[in-house]
Amino acid sequence: MKKTFSALTILLSLLISPLSLSAQQMDPRELAIRKLLQSTIMINQMYVDTVNIDRQVEDAITGMLTKLDPHSQYTNAADTKKLNEPLKGNFEGIGVQFNMLDDTLVVIQTIAKGPSEKAGIIAGDRIVAVNDTAIAGVKMSRENIMSRLRGPKNSEVNLGIVRRGIKDTLTFTVKRDKIPVTSLDAAYMVEPGIGLIRFSNFAANTHTEVVEAIKSLRKKGMRDLIIDLQGNGGGYLGAAADLASELLDKGLMVVYTRGRGGVNLGEYRSRGGGLFTKGRIVVLVDEYSASASEILAGAIQDHDRGTIVGRRTFGKGLVQRPIELEDGSMIRLTTARYYTPSGRCIQKPYQKGDAKTYARDVIDRYNRGELTNADSIHFPDSLKYQTLRLGRTVYGGGGIMPDIFVPLDTTRYTKLYRELSARSYIVNANLHFMDANREQLARKYKKFDTFRTDFQIPEDVIDQMLDEALRKDSLKAKDDKELQKTRADVALIMKALVARDLWDMTEYFQIIYANDPVVKQALTILRKEESD
């Protein structure tokens, strides 16, 4: 009988067959690779039980990467798609922002000119069915619901909608389309002459969005600019370089990279013709500002282009090269380090293979007092650098140390407030309030300025939320002082959430930032410089 051999068997026979070169003569790296491949094939072919070869290979790749730096990583095809969507600038779906209220999807907003708005869906609608499959009251996961709503461009989906004031369930057919993913959170005039721009990451469309925001603010009289990078985890290096070019004079270094052996792998310089190269700049950062955020902040600081305010940034200065694999999975492999124009390495120290300690770094900073007291931060003389225009002292050692330190206010929120927020009581109270009052609020507050001045969350709304939290989870204030502080903070955040639901995130941040200590410090700097 004629025998047949699988491709794996043939490959295995080649790998274990006698070689013209002995193992001692072979390149050790090649020998190690052959050893790994041999082991994988033999386990798949000979192990007593059936094995999942795909999982084995993924575990092997993940295992190798965990022995390297904390940012080299492997993602399977599904996770790779999810991770890339916020940076690519669009995805395909129906175009709604939603939240879950009592196991039911409630539309918070429809994307302007998007598929759902064109079909007639409005804010406040409940989506209860997708293509005749019930998604309300069945405890379906958020990910499962999103996968049903998303789909290829031009494909159609039938949605069952329950609308306040209408007894019967409505049916809408929505043709899916490309939905833009924006990184711009807010752009507004804080006060005459001073604008603020906040964006959440550095994505494919970030440069365009920020440029349009600057143009709009300049038409409103903006002379000075606050750039809010707090919590911005970074993204595309190119987006950071493009934004830096709008702020720096032509030919100035933005960032450079060095690879294995300290080899210079490339540099980015401002291209000239920037939109905002003369007005004053204050950049807001914190311990979660990372990667591309640190590149932009570092370039502005090193060239004395503006003032950095806040707390030392995260310290993520490793360059990952995306390596796409045939099945759609991806390895993001660290190939270089970022350096600011003055020569500072952005990456903070780490031990290879010790991801746990690295992940605890922000907590350790807090425990050492670095987030609350500038005197707790110490830099050796070897980490001192000079800015390139004024010769000011700046510091390396990982992250960007701000010019003006603003401590983390550990007393800003009470324990009760944090518990209410963590258990979604505040968000759910807002959803119920908006569900019952959206139309009335929209009629009453045509303009945001009127809303900001006149609107307050009704006291009974907060009372009902606190009663529910006490009844369900025994959450209560330790004393009257904590209760009053919690009520004030809840009233502020709920006012901001209502503003977001009636308008957008720009209005949300105008409410939130009215008493923000970091924003206040930025305004103090710009006002003082104006009067000097």
Which residues participate in catalysis according to the annotation?
291, 302, 316
Q: How far is CA 503 from CA 168, 187, 449, 496, 507, in A?
A: 29, 13, 12, 10, 7
3-state SS string for 137-169: CCCCCHHHHHHHHCCCCCCEEEEEEECCCCCCC
* 294: Cα within 13 Å, side-chain hemisphere: 32
Query: Quick check: 296 and 283 in contact, CB under 8 A?
Result: yes
Amino acid type, 244: A
Q: How far apart are CA 126 and CA 164, in angstroms?
A: 9
* Eight-class DSSP state of 70: T
The residue assigned the tokens 């001045």 is 453
Rounded (to 5) percent helix, strand, coil in the chain: 40, 20, 35
Beta bridge partners of 7: none
Beta bridge partners of 99: 106
The backbone torsions φ and ψ at residue 132, rounded to the nearest 5 degrees and listed phi first, read 70, 5
Q: How far apart are CA 161 and CA 163, in angstroms?
A: 6
Q: Are strands 184-191 and 281-285 parallel, antiparallel or unpaired?
A: unpaired
Query: Quick check: 227 and 282 in contact, CB under 8 A?
Result: yes
Q: How far is CA 91 from CA 204, 264, 320, in A?
A: 13, 36, 23
Closest CA to 242 of 295, 301, 186, 305: 295
